[in-house]
Amino acid sequence: MTDLSAFSLRGKTIMVTGANTGIGQGIALAIGRAGGSVIAVGRSSMDETEELFRQCSAKSGSISHKSIAFGANVDPKLMLDEAWDEAGRIDGLVNNAGIIRRADALDFTQEDWDDVMDINLKTVFFLSQAFARRVLQTPEKKGKIVNIASMLSFQGGIRVASYTASKSGVMGLTRLLACEWAQKGINVNAIAPGYIETNNTEALRADPDRNAQILGRIPAGRWGEPSDIGDAAVFLLARASDYMHGTTIPVDGGWLAR
């Protein structure tokens, strides 16, 4: 039995996709604060994330991270294998990267459907598959996957047909992979974020009427912060959640309870 806290990630290496901004960035920083080493993956500049890691390290000691940039159409297996071969064993994977397209269902295009489904669902599956294959080749044969679902995994929403379909699929996929891989030593769970303060929600927060409507629905009475999702991810990546499989945890300030 280890002497480390059940919530510690010390000695663990975690890959986080979409770590260049927003929720992914918050997850990466939370993992670092919990003692884990982070492989931060993104398709755009990681300068802001790297600067935040430097600031955290200056305040609380060394926080280990490595940034890897990949192109838009990279094969998930090649990405996972490259990161694994370069950084060594990866203990956990956070499938955070995702996009959204907005249009009325009557006007929604095949392009907008395919773009979202490819990144939000197809990549999640094949990156998880690649991770599981490598994990099962190691002596430990243990790993953890955390998928980022959505409130729209539970609700329908409007004007985001492919996003709702993809995030509903993420929750279903989380359950399927848990059923197949739990006995193999791989935990697969998900987080469904509520309304979080990121650049993606800046326009909503800047609109007084829409901001008031959203806050009026949230029992906690505030927007979430990326660190709220990050801390939940740490729990699902740490030993504390070893007996959790196939769960999607809403971190939404109580939104779904209304």
pLDDT tens by residue, 90-130: 999 999 999 999 999 999 999 999 999 999 999 999 999 99
- Band of the pLDDT at 54, cuts 50, 70, 90? confident
- For the chain, which residues make up each domain, given as ranges? 13-251
pLDDT at 246: 98
3-class DSSP assignment, residue 211: helix
Backbone angles phi, psi at 60, to 5 degrees: -125, 15
Sheet holding 248-251, edge to edge: 65-69, 37-42, 13-17, 92-95, 143-148, 186-193, 248-251
Where in the sequence numbering do the catalytic residues fall? 163
Closest residue by Cα to residue 251 from 189, 206, 169: 189
**What kind of architecture, by CATH, is found in domain 13-251?**
3-Layer(aba) Sandwich (3.40)
Sole residue written with tokens 């809403």: 250
Q: What is the pLDDT of residues 172-189, one digit of tens each?
A: 999 999 999 999 999 999
| 90: enclosing H helix or E strand | none
Q: How many CB atoms lie within 10 A of CB 173?
A: 20
Token pair, residue 4, equals 């480390």
